[in-house]
Structure 1
């Protein structure tokens, strides 16, 4: 596991983007596992800049996202499909037919989870999987628990996650209470995992990466089992 401490958020974003840019240059048809939330926004902005400068093309790139809120369709401003379009897909030459996000409005959620897992398998999983981390240690929407689910599944959101995500909604009551999420097993099948952490709110949880322990009560700790992990955090998260 490699740990990179960047001076600030801008440096973190540029460093994260450099891994993706180098991959696309080397493998134009690469598969990217993508994350939402505030932390990767700067990385996406850097990728758009690289595209606009003619450094990379996304025309053969395939992507899939970690999760989606149940009950929100792709046009909802707080859906993760909308987030990805706004942050990246609308600004580069990617074929949106090659971008996959779970369908939060699926009538049969179990079938949607099974279908999404098949998509991941057909893509042979990600060359790079980008992860953020919740203050409670969740990755994707895999919340702390005695047992974790390996494949894509429906995940009830815990109070801490609902509270943290309420800043994106008009009120806490509007935050969906469930999501479709890739499981820990699916995440660990990526060839390279890059976890991003920024800001003082991540300070406590990032201390857990200074030891040799894992726990399902800190789902992110399970990435310690992966042979190729890069953690990029800014100084505020690393204090």
Structure 2
């Protein structure tokens, strides 16, 4: 039975109340990305960046997994081969929905990182400039999220999974952020079938074997039902 590798983006969490980059009126709409999601922005104004991620952390803490998250957890449980979930999202909704071993390539809101020694620990609800590292006491705490210009996490593992995939799915992704936008090409090169599930076709839809559009809470459970019905 074929291994499935799934990439998820902000679109899978939108129905749980967590906005995407492009949502009008959301957290991202009120800030320039270069001010709150780059190392340079953090160096210029750490208070602004911490405030932004404190707000995102608070918002994520109240969100609940939707049917799409739960459907992928069901696929992991019932599919007879390995199902690997790679997410660009920094929320914990996949895990809350029952998924296991999720690879958070952009880090997590629930984590804190010491910029001085690299130590990681659970983030408090509120972080501020000068927050000390519990390991080395340096006042260099930052959110454990990958900002633009930084290397995503788990890339070696992700490429290994893509090389062994029989089926690759991209769910709720814009197809505009690399290296994740190139995963479909990597999977196809390895011989995998590919499917995109999105609210509307992305810029990369032409590169998929199958494209299904609609709200994630509807199309993802239906896709999972189809896969499991074919066992």
TM-score range, shorter chain: 0.3 to 0.5
Give the TM-score taking structure 1 as reference length.
Answer: 0.34
Which has the larger Rg?
2
